[in-house]
Amino acid sequence: MQRPVTMGMSISWPPPGSLYEVVNMKNLSLLDDLFLWLERRHQPMHVAGLLIFEYPKGAPSHFVSDLAQQMRDCTAPTYPFDQRLVERWRGNCWDHDSAFDINHHFRHVALPRPGGIKELFSFISIEHGNLLDRSRPLWESYLIEAMNGRHFALYTKVHHSLLDGVSAMRTTMKMLGDDPAQMNMPPVWQMPLSPRAQEGKPAEGILSALKVAGSLVGGQIATVRPVASALYHTIKAARANPEYANVFKAPQCRLNQPITGSRRFAAQSFERARLKAIARQTGSTTNDIILAMCGSALRHYLQSYDCLPKQPLVAMVPVSLRRDDSIGGNQVGVILANLATHRKGSLNRLEVIKQSVDEAKEKFHRMSKEEAINYTAVTLAPSGLTLLTGLIPQWLAFNVVISNVPGPEKTQYWNGARLERFYPVSAIVNHMALNITIISYEDRLEFGIVGCRRTLPSMQRLLQYLDDALLELETDLGMSPPPKRQSKRAKQALSE
């Protein structure tokens, strides 16, 4: 649409509230808006991925510099990387950024010597604490070179209101491929969209806009009764069963103190086959085993500071509700899992965790996607108030976020470079000083841990406690521990 020309005066185009604006902008959902409301200087609400690559065989020393120029030439981002935040009378909206500047979003940097994991993770820890500019599309990407052993890294952070974990993973996987000979592969912000993925884009035409608006209003109204019923049954079950993890029952502990803007990032990999073997023998899922490992690690970490609560810690476990290949926004539900940190014995903890997760899954299976999303927003609202204000701490719904995102099983490449590591770097908020996110890649589970540097000192201890927890489960089940012939990649623990 051609913009109008005026003489002697300037006007804002499109006019606020105009038909053009209503049709071509997309409102944020309640859940998307929540991540904007939560954001403060000390708690940026972006998530990120850290990809560590090995140079292609025979690649020249200027390979990364050439790659940087190739990325810098990608100046036409696709949806949703072309969307900027706009505030209007009807709420926050996404709109196409017609003044996109690649130099603001993409940076080519080098690590200081010796360029090891310590220097890389120190850079990530610092950069992850910096806010994104809300006047521009809410993402940034860093190509990082000068690493030891002919390696380079790609760190990309995206605001959680723009992409949830599953859609972020999907866009990253589209950027990668399993062919080492494939070249001229674009960066994540310029990937072509599939027809279904474009369903998240703003509707075109007034009839489409009215149809979408009508279905949204009708869908929201239809969820009121089932959401209220589910909330009532949750509270009723919590009163009857002391092991039930309800929405107001998480105890206060060291993890739930005020945070600063300073971050610490640590990571470690585990062989997926070890967790699968335990899951088969106990009738559990791999995700149950992950939660059992985290529960044990947190139990020992808090015991080391003599501050383990008598009540069990509760984990908030995001569950994807996407049923297609769309991207953009957040379509997640939340499971509140009892981590059984009050229980001794790895198998006792696993039993409580499995029961807690199964009950929550059954609840979501009875809901539609819209009901599950709204139920999540309603149940987390009291905790959101606590996280924003620090008031009513007795309404804390959970102590820690633990998220498991499925990734690629095959070895991935990007412009001939082999992807060696794929670590998630997530967000923490005030009174919620720890986040544990896991991505599966090849035959491993890649744990990425983000914490507040001041609130959680010696956070790298959690890496050892996770390793101990997995070994404890194997020992209690009479399983032989893995031989010491693990590859360096599979067993290496990385921490700042």
Q: What are the structure tokens assigned to 87, written together?
A: 């505030």
Round to whole Å and give the CA distance between 25 and 305: 50
Residue 154 forms beta bridges with which residues? 51, 143
Cβ-proximal residues to 313 (8 Å cutoff; 6+ apart), any chain:
250, 251, 253, 255, 295, 298, 339, 341, 399, 400
Q: Is 160 among the catalytic positions?
A: yes
Q: What are the structure tokens assigned to 65, written together?
A: 């510099």
Other residues' Cβ atoms within 10 Å of the Cβ of residue 205: 10
128, 159, 160, 300: the active-site residue? 160
Residue 53 forms beta bridges with which residues? 152, 419
Cβ-proximal residues to 66 (8 Å cutoff; 6+ apart), any chain:
none
Burial class (CB in 10 A: 0-12, 13-18, 19+), 57: exposed
Is the N-terminal amide bond of 192 cis, ω within 30° of 0? Answer: no
Other residues' Cβ atoms within 10 Å of the Cβ of residue 158: 26
Residue found by looking up tokens 């995102």 in the block? 405
Residues catalogued as catalytic: 160
